Every structure is written in structure tokens, then in C-alpha cells.
Amino acid sequence: MPLTEDQAAEIAALRAQVAETRRATVPALEAMLYNAMPVLDHGFVRVVDYMGDDAAVVQSARVSYGRGTRKVSEDAGLIRYLMRHRHSTPFEMCEIKFHVKLPIFVARQWIRHRTANVNEYSARYSILDREFYIPAPENLAAQSSANRQGRGDVLVGDEAARVLDLLRGDAEQTYAHYAEMLNEDGADPTRQGLARELARMNLTLNTYTQWYWKIDLHNLLHFLSLRIDAHAQYEIRVYAEAMLESVKAWVPLCWEAFRDYRLGAVTFSGPMLTAVKRMLAGDAVTQPNSGMSKRDWAEFMTALGRAA
């Protein structure tokens, strides 16, 4: 993910600034501030601002006046309790703002999370860069036969090469037409260029866009729990994984609780819990006598590490 000279200079200037503050700061996140973490071929994620830390979650839950003098172990215990019992408002007291560069089709999937403040690069006002996402060969897969929104076997050989040629060729051609319609460089002095808000409609969905995305910690953790899951689309999952590194640096106690109670945990339905109790009592529980559908039973067996 090569930054332009102007972008690199801007980041260097921001990182050179030092400001005195009475606000809570997190040294590990300060060290990451403004730096771009590369994602995909031309994308990135970078933290540009934040508010609060682990202590802010604790302070909110206790409704205390100051940051408190309790031991870290007590704060960790409270955070774990809040996470375990799915409290939300204490985690909403922390906020973080990211600058993200991403393909348009990833942005359209991402924007379905309607719990953030978003401001996207305006293609009505500015001209989009000539940058497109082209998957690496190992991420080029056929449609899954078992999952309508998933991938199957990786394409190889001539078939993979043909798909990559089509993706690259279509993107280049439509961008060339986009530039031609805009006529910003005056290549054809005999005509006016098309309005930017109209010319953009011709671009492919793998064209890169950018936005600022600000969200509170509670909703960020919900976003991450869905988007770092193995079933999430690869192209959005890698962004979530990059953002997760920021969370680990920013709120380590919250991260540990999130890891243990959300990422490393499963939720049982009422019938599933009843089945566990019956198994512990020595009953022979099967799908037909469990009260569960075949799909629920398969998920239950997977959670227990058993064959369905």
C-alpha cells in the first residue's frame, strides 16, 4: 500500500505534533496514532483520534467522580462482569475515529452497520483515484455450493488468469471512460466535461474510496465480532483484523474480556442447554429426541466438538 509523498508528509507532520492534555491517553495507541496499517493491495486503516480508555469504562459503570484508585485486578473484574452480562452503556463511553481506504463494494457491505458516524470521500466534489482492488490469486474462488454468500474452491490456471484479466481490464476501461467523460485535463477542447456526479456512475465497484468512521467501543466490538468471524467475507475481514490491533492497544482489559466472552464463546439456546443437562445426567440425546431442528443440532454438535 504505497502512500503518496503528500500523504506520507501529512502523517509525519501529525505525528510530530505534541499536545499537553488532562484527558486520558493510552501510550500504546498514541504510538500507533495516524500511522496507516496496510490492508489489501491499496487500502489502509489508521486511527486519527480517540476518547477514553479502560478506566473510562470502569468510571462510567461506578459513576465515580475521578479515575479511581482501585487495583487493576478489580477494574478487570468489573469489565469482565460487564462484558459477560452484555452491558452496553459503559463501553459506549469510549470512542475511536478511523480513516479507512477501501474498495467501494466493501464500503457498501460495511455501511450496513448503522451505528457509526461516517463521512465518505465525495465523488460529486472530487475525482476518484485510479486505484482498483484486484484479488490475490489465493483469494479468487468459485461460488460455494453450500453457502449462497460464500466461496468454494480456489480458481486455478487459465480460469483464474482469465478472471483476473477481466477484473483488471474492466476497471481500467471504465476508469478511462470516466476520465474521458470528465474531460478535466481538457483533452477535447471542443466539449464540456460531464458532471462528476454523473461520470462516477460508470466506475466498477472495486474502485477505492475513503472515509472517516467514528464509533463507540460497544458498537465497534459488535462490528468486530461479526466481521472477524471466519464466515465473514475476506475483504472486510482483513479490515476488521487491522482495527482489532488498535483495540488491543487502546483498551487491553476490554479486549481480553471481549476475547474470552465473545470471540471464544458460544451461546446455547434453551433446547441446547436442556440437551447438555440431559447428557450430563447420562441420557442418550439424539437430534430426533432433542427438540432441535437438523440445523440447530448440527450447530450444537459443532460447538461441542462432535460429529453431527
DSSP string, 32-89: TTTPPEEETTTEEEEEEEEE--HHHHHHHHHT-SSS----HHHHHHHHHHHHHTT--G
227 is catalytic: yes
Beta strands in the chain (DSSP E): 37-39, 43-51, 95-103, 117-120, 141-143, 151-154, 208-216
CATH 3.30.1360.170 intervals, the chain: 5-133+206-263
Q: pLDDT tens across 90-119, in order?
A: 999 999 999 999 999 999 999 999 999 999
Cβ atoms of 262 and 83 closer than 8 Å: yes
Q: pLDDT tens across 246-282, in order?
A: 999 999 999 999 999 999 888 999 999 999 999 999 9
- pLDDT value for 150: 72
Which of 84, 148, 227, 295 does the annotation list as catalytic?
Answer: 227
Cβ atoms of 44 and 100 closer than 8 Å: yes
**CATH of 5-133+206-263 among 1.10.3720.10, 3.30.1360.170, 3.90.650.10, 3.40.50.20:** 3.30.1360.170
Give the C-alpha separation, 251 to 182, whole Å: 46
pLDDT band at 39 (very low <50, low <70, confident <90, very high): very high
pTM: 0.90
- pLDDT value for 73: 81
Q: pLDDT tens across 226-237, in order?
A: 999 988 999 999
Average predicted confidence (pLDDT) for the chain: 91
Contacts of 241 (CB under 8 A, 6+ apart): 228
Exposed (0-12), middle (13-18) or buried (19+): which is 304, by Cβ within 10 Å?
middle
